[in-house]
Structure 1
Amino acid sequence: MRIGEIAAATGISHDTLRFYEKRGLLRARRSANGYRDYPPEAVDWLRYIRLAQTLGFTLAEIEADLPLLAAPDAAAPQLRAALQRKLTEIDRRIDGLQSLRGELARRLGDPMQACPLRDGAT
């Protein structure tokens, strides 16, 4: 598949495809005229990458677990563990944001404090 075909099939821009290729997430052969030629399975792979990103995985995390993602059925236990780690990380972030929200609400809730960021508001 040429870059335009794979872009149309996945909804991923040419620039992003080139970026993924540069990072090693995607491989293409070069034809005699220099055009990129992607294997048909690249479409599924790109959808997999996008789904992982949607679930909160960074490209660095995806790159680190590349062998796992290349054979998801064989690596199901490792993928489940990666998803569990991500869920735990998200829960920690939510807890941190709830604490931050509480502190901001407390500072805004004191009408006697002229400036909510002054030391007296701590």
Structure 2
Amino acid sequence: MRIGVLAAKTGVSRDALRFYEREGLISADRHQNGYRDYPDGVVVLVGLIRQAQALGFSLAEIGALLKGLGSGLSQTEIEAILREKLAEIDARMKTLGELRAVVETRLAEACPLGVGNL
């Protein structure tokens, strides 16, 4: 399928699809006229990429995962990767919670007019 059809089926822009291709996440055959021809399975693959991005995985991490899936990552290995991502998310949430507390304290100490004690 051509890039426009893939974009319509996945809701991903043509530019993003070209970027995924440059990053090695998806691939297409090229016709003599330069048009890309994506296999039908790429629709599912793009969906997986978008889902992984929504879960906080970087494109580099997604690329490594896709290579691992292609070479047969075990269920245990996939679980370990997901547990590591959860730990990263928990650490970020802790840091953001601490930052929120600091901002909340500063807000409580601030002058209602926003000038504060200078």
User: Normalised by the size of structure 2, how large is the TM-score?
Assistant: 0.85
1:19 and 1:93 map into 2 onto residues whose CA distance is: 27
2:76 corresponds to 1:66: no
Partner residue, 1:14: 14
Q: CA RMSD in A?
A: 1.9
Unaligned runs of 5+ in 1: 116-122
- The structural deviation recorded for 1:111 is 5.2
2:98 match: 99
Q: Determine the structure 2 residue equivalent to 1:120.
A: none
Opposite residue 35 of structure 2, the aligned amino acid is: Y
Higher relative contact order (CA 8 A, sep 6+): 2
Deviations 1:36-74 (A, max 9, x none): 0111111111100001011111112112222234477x5
- Residues 51-109 of structure 1: per-residue CA shift (max 9 Å, x gap): 1011111112112222234477x532222211111111111111111111111222222
The structure 1 residue matched to 2:117, chosen from 111, 114, 119, is 114
Alpha-carbon distance in structure 1 between the residues aligned to 2:3 and 2:28: 9
Are the aligned partners of 1:26 and 1:42 in contact in 2 as well (CA < 8 Å)? yes
Which amino acid in the other structure matches residue 14 of structure 1? R
> Secondary structure in 2 aligned to 1:46?
helix
Cross-structure match for 1:118: none
Matches of 1:3 and 1:51 in 2, distance apart? 20
Instruction: Give aligned-pair identity as a percent.
Output: 47
Q: Which residue of 1 aligns with 2:84?
A: 85
Gaps of 5+ in 2: none
TM normalised by structure 1 equals 0.82
Tell me which amino acid in the other structure corresponds to 1:102.
A
SS of the residue corresponding to residue 6 of structure 1 reads helix
SS of 1:20's partner is: helix
